[in-house]
Amino acid sequence: MIQNDKDFIDWLDGQLNEKIPDEITAFNINIYESPFNIEIVGSSKFDPEDEDWACNENWIPRNRKMSVSSSLFGDSWEEAQENIIAMAKKYLQSNSKNVNKLKAAKAFAIGFVDGNLSYVQ
């Protein structure tokens, strides 16, 4: 379960430690509500004008979903999304082993399933 920044960074670095095909050009963290879970998926397509690129799940890690503490959800879905975005930004600023996989991508976004994306990069 993700309860803080360290848990998030460890989880994300572990997910990105898997073999990712060369054709994956963008990543998205999906947020699920009830229960509060997240997952990262990779897409071989990216179109900044069409958020449906994030529906292309061309790469999925073996352990797909991770639960997130309800304390990180806050008082609203907006606060939950902002908390996940803040942790993702900390990951991008870290010296984690796999951070360059995200930095090299055309896009890295976060959003609730069936919601709009927020771009971290």
Residue type, 31: I
Phi first, then psi: give them for residue 54, nearest 5 degrees.
-70, -10
78-104 confidence digits (pLDDT tens):
999 999 999 999 999 999 999 999 999
23-60 confidence digits (pLDDT tens):
999 999 999 988 899 999 999 999 999 999 999 999 99
DSSP state letter for 16:
H
Query: Which burial class, exposed, middle or buried, applies to 13 when counting CB atoms under 10 A from its CB (0-12, 13-18, 19+)?
Result: middle
Is 111 within 8 Å of 117 (Cβ atoms)?
Answer: yes
Domains of the chain, residue spans: 1-17+24-33+81-121
